[in-house]
Amino acid sequence: MPLHAVYGHDELRERLTTTMRASRLPPALVLTGPPGIGKQRLALWIAQGLVCDRGPGAPCDACHPCKLALQLSHPDIHWFFPIPRPKGDESKQVEEAEDALVAAIAARRETSLYRPPEGLTGLYLPLVRALHRRAQMRPAMGKVKAFVVGEADRLVPQASSPEAANAMLKVLEEPPPDTFFLLTTAEPAALLPTIRSRLVHLRAGRLKPADIARFLREVPDPPLGEAEAGRRAELAGGAISAALAAGAPAASRVLADGLLAAAAGGPAARWRYALATKPFGARAAFTDTLDVAAEKLRDELAAQLRAPTGGGRAGGTGEEPPSRLLAQVRELERARQLAQGNVNPQLVVAGLLRRLAEARG
């Protein structure tokens, strides 16, 4: 299945097109912005534009290199993203990382949608060594090659483990002349300062509701109807990931209801919920719970803004002032970012419930 189109970011893409046509694209840049807005897809669009037969610029989608890029099969476009830590013999870990990445990309060819990385995945040292090895090779088809490095903050999975980041720094310090590095992250502060200093930073903003609604009508299988797509897009906060989370399965909705009810209860209710959370494993389900809880609060916030004298109820939260609802949404988004790291979900939810209770006043 080919990559879906890029949705939104029109102004940024126009600027990038002008820059590429003038052969002024920096050899190393980082796309930053909120999670779930399509930064990696945008980076792949840039890479496709670099190898397009029409020359650097907006890709035509019709030439042979563009078609290969859309199929994730172009030999000069290399997509790296977090994978599980290789566990084999140290001498074979680079090959193991290469094999895991190839398998993960093959899985992404099968669907237009893919989940955020699990908490125990990362851009570990063997994977960066594989990147370094590919970077030393000459382009296979065209004049340049491009490396898309998604979730680049995962170069440092723990504060005491900067080995992969230091290896990446060596590549950025002496980049081959025919190579472009396109990193993406929602947490640029998590990158080493020495890496940040070698990157040109581009900020990608939140998407317009119309762009999200069009995505929901065209990409998921089955696609959403116009009314449902529009409703979710208005409540998504500019992120496609949030709009998709609104269709979470019943189990996630039950867990989200319990989370919000625990936050509304006393200390005993909060501790009971926190202790019932699995300390490790099932991180995807935990992330879904946070997404659904945030979506419920956004629904309530939107309802109150439409009817200032009234208010709906979401997940047992009761009627609350919009400012407090917004504060709780921000705490859930913060917890979601923490959940993507190598952390204990039980500790994350314990701190989250305390902050949610404080935000409720």
Does residue 188 fall inside a structural domain? yes
**Among candidate residues 115, 85, 120, the one with its CA nearest the CA of residue 100:** 85
Question: What's the pLDDT score for residue 341?
Answer: 66
Residue type, 80: F
Does residue 283 fall inside a structural domain? yes
Does residue 197 fall inside a structural domain? yes
Specify whether 188 is located in the same domain as 257. no
Does residue 221 fall inside a structural domain? no
Question: What's the pLDDT score for residue 82?
Answer: 93
320 pLDDT exceeds 90? no
339 pLDDT exceeds 50? yes
Mean per-residue pLDDT for 80-84? 93
CATH number at residue 153: 3.40.50.300
Lowest mean pLDDT among 162-166, 168-172, 305-309, 315-319: 315-319
Assess contact for 295 and 262: CB atoms under 8 A.
Answer: no
Does residue 259 fall inside a structural domain? yes
Specify whether 188 is located in the same domain as 40. yes
Rounded to whole angstroms, the Cα distance separating 65 from 322 reads: 50
Specify whether 256 is located in the same domain as 167. no
286 pLDDT exceeds 70? yes
pLDDT confidence bin for 21, thresholds 50/70/90 = very high
Mean per-residue pLDDT for 41-65? 96
Specify whether 138 is located in the same domain as 57. yes
| Secondary structure of residue 271 in the 3-state scheme | helix
Helix 250-264 × helix 345-360 angle, to 10°: 50
Assess contact for 340 and 287: CB atoms under 8 A.
Answer: yes
pLDDT confidence bin for 316, thresholds 50/70/90 = very low
> Is the torsion defined by CA of 202, 132, 70, 65 positive or negative?
positive
204 pLDDT exceeds 50? yes
- Examine the fold and report which residue of 185, 203, 221 is the final residue of a domain before the chain moves on: 203
Lowest mean pLDDT among 54-63, 285-294, 309-318: 309-318
Per the model's pLDDT, the better-predicted residue between 168 and 293 turns out to be: 168
**Among candidate residues 225, 201, 204, 222, the one with its CA nearest the CA of residue 213:** 225
Question: What's the pLDDT score for residue 304?
Answer: 77
pLDDT confidence bin for 283, thresholds 50/70/90 = low
Question: What's the pLDDT score for residue 317?
Answer: 42
Specify whether 275 is located in the same domain as 182. no
Specify whether 179 is located in the same domain as 63. yes
Mean per-residue pLDDT for 310-336? 71
Specify whether 193 is located in the same domain as 254. no
Q: What is the pLDDT of residues 229-272, one digit of tens each?
A: 998 998 888 999 888 877 666 666 778 888 899 888 888 888 88
Specify whether 176 is located in the same domain as 264. no
Instruction: List the domain range (segments joined by +) for residue 330.
Output: 248-360
Does residue 237 fall inside a structural domain? no
- Which residues face 201 on adjacent strands? 30
Does residue 126 fall inside a structural domain? yes
Per the model's pLDDT, the better-predicted residue between 281 and 135 turns out to be: 135
Q: What is the pLDDT of residues 105-119, one digit of tens each?
A: 999 998 878 777 776
Question: What's the pLDDT score for residue 180?
Answer: 97
Specify whether 174 is located in the same domain as 54. yes
Q: What is the pLDDT of residues 122-179, one digit of tens each?
A: 899 999 999 999 999 999 999 999 999 999 998 875 555 688 999 999 999 988 889 9
pLDDT confidence bin for 282, thresholds 50/70/90 = low
Does residue 213 fall inside a structural domain? no
Lowest mean pLDDT among 51-55, 192-196, 307-311, 318-322: 307-311
Query: In the block, which residue shows the tokens 């119309």?
Result: 210
Helix, strand, coil percentages in the chain from 3-state DSSP, rounded to 5: 55, 10, 40
Mean pLDDT of the chain: 87
pLDDT confidence bin for 345, thresholds 50/70/90 = confident
Specify whether 105 is located in the same domain as 17. yes
Name the percent of the chain lying above pLDDT 70: 89
Number of domains in the chain: 2
Phi, psi of 210 (to 5 degrees): -65, -40
- Examine the fold and report which residue of 203, 234, 259 is the final residue of a domain before the chain moves on: 203
- Examine the fold and report which residue of 171, 203, 235 is the final residue of a domain before the chain moves on: 203
Specify whether 185 is located in the same domain as 41. yes
Predicted TM-score of the model (pTM): 0.74
Specify whether 272 is located in the same domain as 129. no
Question: What's the pLDDT score for residue 175?
Answer: 84
Q: What is the pLDDT of residues 22-52, one digit of tens each?
A: 999 999 999 999 989 999 999 999 999 999 9
